[in-house]
Chains A and B, each alone.
Chain A
Amino acid sequence: MKKQAVIAGVGESSYHVRGRSPDSEFQLACTAIRNAAEDAGIALADIDGFVSYNDQRNDPLRLARALGIRDLRWAVQSWAGGGNNAAHAVQMADAAVCAGYAENVVAFRALAQGQFGRFGQSRGGGRTMDGDMAWKAPYGLLSPAQECALHTARFMHDHGISQEALCDISLACYANAQRNPRAVRYGQPLDREKYHASRWIVEPFHLYDCCPENDGASAVVVTTAERARDLKSKPAAILACAQGLGPMYGSSAFQPRWIGRMYYDNVGRSLWERAGVGPDDVDVAQFYENFTGPVLISLCEMGFCKPDEVEAFVANGALEGPDARFPFNTSGGNIGEAYIHGFELVVEAARQIRGESTCQIADAELSLVVSGPGYAPGSALLLAKT
């Protein structure tokens, strides 16, 4: 049994449509971290660790100076991919705290796609591309949406899944975002007709199958259960984390051999084994949806249903609202709340345990985050009431 660390504080900046943030990405990061520390009731100077993922810009030296950190003892980042490592960032904070390497570790992600590059757009623009991109770019295979579309198209073909199942994921995110004033899509409801009428980005993805590009930051403070008893906010216990890859693996996460998969089998297996619970025990789940299709695949790979059951699993509003049959992406997720590379899902999962969601389910005992279906290695996080 692992030692128990907890998420003792959560925080975020305001969330913005891409390019509309009045603050720089680094300022957004600092705001989210300050809010998380204040929520936990710890002084900024007492933060002694930083964890992020896929972040080359908001480095710990700059953060330590900006936030007045006295004694930094843990500064790490996850390898590979993108939003797939949001839960793993918490795992590395958990590992540091449980091992005693640091006491108050902040896991966070800041993203200003207005100030910096857009993930959905092609990198480069030179005459040639090398490495993994040399196999893809000459054929116009350039973006995460296109790669996830290839996986989703095969999954739909193999299991007789219709466009309606993809639509149901998007509708749930939009419906839940209508309850959340922080959400970028708050006040902008979506219905089935509007979904189907929206333009194709890359078949089988309509516009509304794709998360938007946003500016914002979110953060959590991880510390020991003992220390959290003296802090002001209600902690969420880190029951288990998992990161995983294989045997389905890929160069740059996309491997044509393993088409139709999301590489989450062993993430689920590790998570349930470590937590001593199974999918049926989960009360509320946040699934990373860069695009809707990967959610369907990862629902199956995490063990919630079989591929030939997944269309029924998500149909008829089964994912919408606090009384949903399967409470899902209750803040609106990447699609409805904001695309903070999936870290906003970690914040929401903790809020569910604390009873503070804008789409609060009754008696949330176990709260799941599945980070970044679409890229590998995948990761997941299971929070529990202390």
Chain B
Amino acid sequence: MTRHLGDDWVLPELSDLNRPFFTSGQVQVQVCDDCGVLQQPPDEICGSCQSTKLSFRATSGEGSIESVAVVHQAVHPALKDACPYAVVVVSLDDAPGVSVIGNVLNRDPGEVAIGQRVRACFETCPSADGEETLKIPQWEVV
């Protein structure tokens, strides 16, 4: 099994806004070419200066856990075997104001705690249409 929640679990539908994050093998966040502000999730316009000149920037993939919720009850039948699992919000060291969502792969859910230092890892699998390779960012406590 290459994916934490099961190889058949839902994949992101790729778009211009999320392709860098899900396929680059880096934790990339959106940056405004005009004012330099970072935003996540990406959008079609900069929320700070309203520029539409936006690109993506790789981060170090290192950060801290801002919050954790341990899911016990599957809200989809396909997740039954994956429970319990930990959903975390991670702030990135070199992308101030930006957080991303993920799972922690190398600890039991009950051992995941706010404030723990984490490093990105990636789940590699084909996209749903088989045309691209996904490298889905995930997290390991360091």
The answer to whether A and B come from one shared complex is yes
Q: Which residues of A does B touch, CB under 8 Å? A: 120-122, 124-132, 134-143, 145-146, 149-151, 153-154, 157, 199-204, 251, 256-257, 259-260
What residues of chain A lie closer than 8 Å to B73, measured between beta carbons?
199-202
Q: Are B9 and A140 in contact (CB under 8 A)?
A: yes
A134 vs B114: C-alpha distance in the bound complex, in angstroms?
A: 24
**A84 → chain B, closest Cβ, in Å?**
20
Out of B67, B68, B76, which one reaches A260, CB within 8 Å?
B67
Q: Are B11 and A138 in contact (CB under 8 A)?
A: yes
**Given A128-B12, A129-B12, A251-B41 in contact, is the A153-B85 Cβ separation under 8 Å?**
no
A125 vs B12: C-alpha distance in the bound complex, in angstroms?
A: 12
Q: Are B18 and A202 in contact (CB under 8 A)?
A: no
What residues of chain A lie closer than 8 Å to B69, measured between beta carbons?
146, 149-150, 153, 202-204
**Chain B interface residue count: which class?**
35 or more
Residue of A at shortest CB range from B12? A134
A125 vs B82: C-alpha distance in the bound complex, in angstroms?
A: 16
Q: Are B10 and A138 in contact (CB under 8 A)?
A: yes
Q: Are B89 and A140 in contact (CB under 8 A)?
A: no
Residue of B at shortest CB range from A148? B69
Q: Are B101 and A139 in contact (CB under 8 A)?
A: yes
> Is the CB of B49 closer than 8 A to any CB of chain A?
no
Q: Are A150 and B68 in contact (CB under 8 A)?
A: yes
What residues of chain A lie closer than 8 Å to B12, measured between beta carbons?
128-130, 134-135, 137-138
Please, could you name 24 A-B residue pairs with CB atoms under 8 Å apart, sorted by A?
A122-B75, A124-B10, A127-B128, A128-B12, A128-B13, A134-B12, A134-B13, A137-B10, A138-B5, A139-B102, A140-B9, A141-B87, A145-B75, A150-B68, A150-B89, A153-B67, A153-B68, A200-B70, A201-B72, A204-B69, A256-B40, A256-B66, A256-B100, A259-B89
Out of A120, A131, A142, A150, which one reaches B67, CB within 8 Å?
A150
Within 8 A of A (CB), among B86-113: 87, 89, 97-103
What residues of chain A lie closer than 8 Å to B79, measured between beta carbons?
140
Q: Are B41 and A139 in contact (CB under 8 A)?
A: no
**Given A120-B75, A154-B66, A202-B72 in contact, is the A259-B99 Cβ separation under 8 Å?**
yes
A153 vs B69: C-alpha distance in the bound complex, in angstroms?
A: 7
What residues of chain A lie closer than 8 Å to B18, measured between beta carbons?
134-135
What residues of chain B lie closer than 8 Å to A120, measured between beta carbons?
75
What residues of chain B lie closer than 8 Å to A126, measured between beta carbons?
10
What residues of chain B lie closer than 8 Å to A143, measured between beta carbons?
75
What residues of chain A lie closer than 8 Å to B68, measured between beta carbons?
150, 153
**Given A130-B15, A141-B101, A257-B97 in contact, is the A202-B71 Cβ separation under 8 Å?**
yes
Within 8 A of A (CB), among B37-96: 40-41, 43, 66-73, 75-76, 78-79, 82, 84-85, 87, 89
What residues of chain B lie closer than 8 Å to A124, measured between beta carbons?
10
A201 vs B75: C-alpha distance in the bound complex, in angstroms?
A: 10
**Given A134-B15, A150-B69, A199-B73 in contact, is the A127-B10 Cβ separation under 8 Å?**
yes
**Given A127-B11, A140-B71 in contact, is the A157-B76 Cβ separation under 8 Å?**
no
For A127, A131, A132, A134, which residue has the most chain B Cβ atoms within 10 angstroms? A134
> Is the CB of B31 closer than 8 A to any CB of chain A?
no
Q: Are B67 and A259 in contact (CB under 8 A)?
A: yes
